[in-house]
Amino acid sequence: MSVIKQAFSSLLLVLLLTHARDARTAATSSTMEDTCKRFAGGDQAGHDYDFCMKTLGADPESANLDAYDLAVDAVYMAMSAARATGARIARLQLAETVPARRECLNKCAAEYDVTVRRLSDAGSYAYVSGSEHLQKAQTLLAETLGAPLRCDRAFTAAGQRSPLSSTDYELNEAIGLALTILPAPPTPKP
């Protein structure tokens, strides 16, 4: 009889631990969903909920992250997107034969170089807690927001169609996501 009790106790313990793990995963998954709902319907309504879920869900660990860690993750994902677009611009520059388009690509390359550096710095500041660091991260993110649009405007001003419009949109959304979900630093008390 004790073998049956012991087996039953072991089974019960496994079920309880599984339930606790599933509850924790559901709670953090809910954190990601809540974050994306806030992103899609917050101050700047019009952001894409599905984009948010896809972007944050790209990290297999995102289901286990809290809101702060999701924000840091979003900063690094934006930086990765900016690097990938910068690499694409470099490939386009090598193949471009039209001087007006080459000049536009040069402007975009410069814009993306600055954007990658700022996002890298923002990620470093966001990773370190503290209101001064969060403020610096938010400032750097705000400075990068719109960089993709400036790239597209270079093509428009030259009467050219941008080959980067879709990736520019995604980067701007990723930067907006990071900026939206990065916790605001606490305001100092007077």
> Residues 6-54: pLDDT tens digits?
433 333 323 333 333 333 333 345 777 887 887 777 555 556 788 888 8
How far apart are the C-alpha atoms of 101 and 46, rounded to whole Å? 31
DSSP class of residue 45 equals B
Q: What is the pLDDT along the chain (190 residues), one digit of tens a residue?
A: 444 444 333 333 233 333 333 333 333 457 778 878 877 775 555 567 888 888 888 777 777 777 778 888 888 888 988 999 999 999 999 999 999 999 999 999 999 999 999 999 998 888 776 677 888 888 999 999 888 889 999 999 999 999 988 777 788 888 888 888 777 655 555 5
Domain 70-190: top CATH class = mainly alpha
Q: Are 81 and 73 in contact (CB under 8 A)?
A: no
Are 33 and 40 a contacting pair, CB within 8 Å?
A: no
Q: How many angstroms separate the Cα of 43 from the Cα of each of 2, 12, 19, 47, 161?
A: 61, 47, 36, 10, 31
pLDDT at residue 14, rounded to an integer:
30
Mean pLDDT of the chain, nearest integer: 77
